[in-house]
Amino acid sequence: MQSNRHSEIGYRESSSSAKGKALLGLYIGMLVVICVISFTFGASFAYKDYLLGLPSYVPQGTDATMVNEDGSFVNISEIIASETTQIAIPEFEHIHNILLIGIDSRSKSYSKDGSGSRADIIMILTVNEKDGTIKLLSIARDSYAYIPGFSDPQKINGAMTYGGPELLMATIENSLRIELNDYAFVNFYHMEKVIDSVGGVYAYVSEAERINEGGLNSLLAGDNIEKGLEPETNLLQTSGTQLLNGRQAVMYSRIRKVGGGDYERSKRQVEVLESLLKRFMNRSLSGQASALEKMLPHVSTNIPRDRIEWYATTFLSQLKSPEFVYEKLPLNGYSNQGIYSDFYARQWSIRPDWNGMIPFVQEYIFGENFPVDPVRTIPNAPNSGE
386 found inside a domain? no
Judged against a pLDDT cut of 70, whether residue 312 lies above it is answered with: no
Cβ 278 vs Cβ 7: under 8 Å: no
Cis peptide before 165 (omega within 30 of 0): no
What is the DSSP secondary-structure string of 202-235? EEEE-HHHHHSTTSHHHHHHHHHHHTT--TTTT-
CA gyration radius, the chain: 20
Judged against a pLDDT cut of 60, whether residue 14 lies above it is answered with: no
At 81, which CATH number?
3.30.420.590
168 found inside a domain? yes
Contacts of residue 48, defined as CB under 8 A and 6 or more positions apart, other chains included, come to 41
Single pTM value for the model:
0.77
265 found inside a domain? no
- pLDDT one-digit tens code per residue, 329-362: 999 999 998 888 788 777 889 999 999 999 999 9
245 found inside a domain? no
The percent of residues in the chain predicted with pLDDT above 70, rounded, is: 78
Can you count the helices (H) and strands (E) in the chain? 12, 16
d(CA 63, CA 138): 27
- Average pLDDT, rounded, for the chain: 80
Judged against a pLDDT cut of 80, whether residue 126 lies above it is answered with: yes
Full domain range(s) for residue 76: 11-188+297-366
170 found inside a domain? yes
φ/ψ of 300, rounded to 5, equals -120, 135
Task: Compute the average pLDDT of residues 51-78.
Answer: 85
Q: What are the start-end ranges of the H helices in 62-190?
A: 76-81, 158-176
Residue 235 C-beta-side C-alpha neighbours within 13 Å:
19
Question: b/e per residue, 312-328, with b = 16+ CB within 10 A?
Answer: beebbbeeeebebbbbb
314 found inside a domain? yes
| Domain count along the chain | 1
